[in-house]
Structure 1
Amino acid sequence: MKVRDPEGQTWRVTRRWVPWRRRLRAPDSGHFDGLNGLGDDPVSAIIAIILLIIALPFILLALFVAFEFLLLLLLIPFAALARVTFGAHWTIEARRGFTIWWDAPSGGWRESGEQIRTLARAIEAGQLPARTVGGE
């Protein structure tokens, strides 16, 4: 559920669908404006090879993150089905923007839904939850 506090900040109050908390952060994007001028001479080829060697770990990291994301997409339906079928307890989280600000264990599906609505109304009224997640 997406709500706004009195200051206009967007909050998202949701169930956590997987039993773990996401830890991946978006890398800072940089600009490589100098790469546009590589020519076809031997010095430019050597520079391009060196830059490729430097960039290779980042390319491998991006492939690993993509693989992990696809694996997560494959696991979410099974985790959600298991939670609903076996009545597992849900974790409720409130995110300020996209940063997890508060989380707490909740009951089953119905109880967690009621807690989400209660917390969303409190945020809209200006009663912000105390920060409980790792001081990020």
Structure 2
Amino acid sequence: MKVLDPQGRTWRVTRRWLPWRPRRRYLGPSLNLDVVDGLVGFLVALVFGLVVLPIASFVFLTGGELVLLVVLLPAVTLGRVLFGRHWWIEARLGFRPYWETEAGDWKESGRRIRAVAESIERGDPPMRTLGEQEPEPTRPTPYDPPGEGA
């Protein structure tokens, strides 16, 4: 379910279909120009870095997880539905994971998704449990020295 909070940020509240969260990977080329010798070597390295390396990286780095995902997704989904396994729901701010919790069976997880989405629309997002924590604002304590203007 896609919702907007009062600040206009997009949130996605969904079930997590797999027991794990797929990893995001950087698949950009890593062209080391210090090893290239001469113009021909530079051109070969440039073609390799811009064409071959990204394709090979994509195939090798995501291929294993992609195959595993395609093979396991039907089995995991069927097992969850037939055997009443609990679903996990998650809230993503944009596409970045922000919060997750175990939510019960299919109907209960649907109710929880709607409740969390309504809460976000009201401006009351869940407490962050995933990703980087935002630093807490610091407040002066009675033991801090007074500021320079005092």
Which TM-score tier does this pair reach, normalised by the shorter chain?
Answer: 0.7 to 0.9
Q: CA deviation at 1:65?
A: 3.3
Amino acid at match of 1:87: G
Q: Among the aligned pairs, what percent are the same residue?
A: 45
Larger-gyration structure (1/2):
2
1:49 aligns with 2:52: no
CA distance in 2, matches of 1:112, 1:52: 49
Q: CA deviation at 1:98?
A: 0.2
- State the TM-score, normalized to the length of structure 1: 0.77
The aligned residue for residue 20 of structure 1 is: 20
The aligned residue for residue 130 of structure 2 is: 133
Q: Which runs of 5+ in 2 are unaligned?
A: 32-37, 134-150
Matched-pair contact (CA < 8 Å) for 2:98–2:129 = yes
Matched-pair contact (CA < 8 Å) for 2:27–2:57 = no
Q: CA deviation at 1:53?
A: 5.8
CA distance in 1, matches of 2:94, 2:49: 34
RMSD, aligned α-carbons: 2.6
- 1:106 partner SS: strand
CA deviations over 1:55-92 (Å, ceiling 9, x no partner): 66544321123413243133212211111111100111
1:84 aligns with 2:81: yes
Q: Which runs of 5+ in 1 are unaligned?
A: 33-42
Q: Give the structure, 1 or 2, with the largest relative contact order (CA under 8 Å, sep 6 or more).
A: 1
- State the TM-score, normalized to the length of structure 2: 0.70
More helix by share: 1
1:6 aligns with 2:2: no
